[in-house]
């Protein structure tokens, strides 16, 4: 038996691979930092990235803990908490996202990406690896239940449009409720 097959423990990743997977550094930056590490062997990989200005030191520390599996993942922690801890969001940015989220009911991560605070690849990394969620099963917004009442049930309400035809109703049933038809 070889050593790889006897080691059943969790795989420890290299911080550079984790940062690249999270979309925080490119392949070229990874290769450059690896070259620098050969010259400056007294520096840690995250310190090299920080000195080059590619990431901040708290971000390097967060991902170093994750790579070494020393990061404590807590079920009650939310995405924003982890992004703050990783120094990828400021408290001001967090507050802006939460304020906007109350208005338009979009998901926190979607707003962080749309506002340009984090790349989509970073959001996917946090959802998949940190929060252990499937990336493809989330929508950009949260739906909230609003009780619907017909115009007939509302006092003093008048219908302003003619009733929908049977053809329109059948077409509406066939479309995906999450699809947005911009034209037509």
| Rounded (5°) CA angle 129-73-62 | 75
Q: Which of 40, 36, 65, 60 is nearest to 50 (CA)?
A: 60
* Predicted pLDDT at 75: 76
The 10s digit of each residue's pLDDT in 66-107 is: 988 888 878 788 999 999 999 999 999 999 999 999 999 999
Distinct helix (H) and strand (E) counts, the chain: 10, 0
| Dist CA 23 CA 2 (whole Å) | 34
| pLDDT tens, residue by residue, 1-35 | 444 444 444 566 799 999 999 999 999 999 999 99
HSE (CB half, 13 Å, CA atoms) of 139? 10
Q: How many angstroms separate the CA atoms of 83 and 74, rounded?
A: 14
> Cβ distance 105 to 142 under 8 Å?
yes
Residue ranges per structural domain of the chain: 10-70, 73-135
- pLDDT above 70 covers a percentage of the chain that reads 65
Residue 56, Cα to own-chain centre: how many angstroms?
19
Q: How many CB atoms lie within 10 A of CB 67?
A: 19
Distance of alpha carbon 23 from alpha carbon 129, whole angstroms: 13
Decide: 46 and 60 in contact? Cβ < 8 Å.
Answer: yes
Q: Between these two residues, 47 and 5, which has the higher pLDDT value?
A: 47
Ranking 33-37, 63-67, 98-102, 121-125 by mean pLDDT, the lowest is: 63-67
């Amino acid at each position: 038996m070889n050593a790889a097959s006897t080691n059943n423990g969790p795989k420890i990743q290299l911080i550079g691979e984790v940062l690249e997977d999270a979309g925080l550094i490119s392949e070229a930056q990874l290769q450059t930092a690896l070259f620098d590490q050969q010259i400056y062997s007294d520096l840690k990989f995250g310190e090299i990235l920080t000195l080059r200005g590619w990431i901040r030191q708290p971000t390097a520390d967060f991902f170093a803990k994750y790579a070494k599996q020393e990061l404590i993942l807590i079920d009650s922690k939310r995405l924003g908490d982890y992004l703050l801890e990783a120094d990828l969001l400021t408290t001001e940015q967090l507050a802006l996202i939460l304020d906007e989220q109350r208005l338009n009911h979009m998901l926190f991560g979607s707003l962080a990406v749309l506002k340009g605070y984090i790349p989509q690849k970073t959001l996917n990394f946090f959802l998949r690896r940190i929060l252990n969620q499937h990336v493809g099963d989330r929508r950009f917004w949260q739906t909230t239940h609003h009780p619907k009442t017909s115009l007939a049930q509302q006092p003093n309400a008048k219908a302003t449009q003619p009733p929908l035809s049977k053809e329109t109703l059948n077409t509406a049933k066939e479309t995906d409720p999450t699809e947005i038809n911009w034209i037509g």
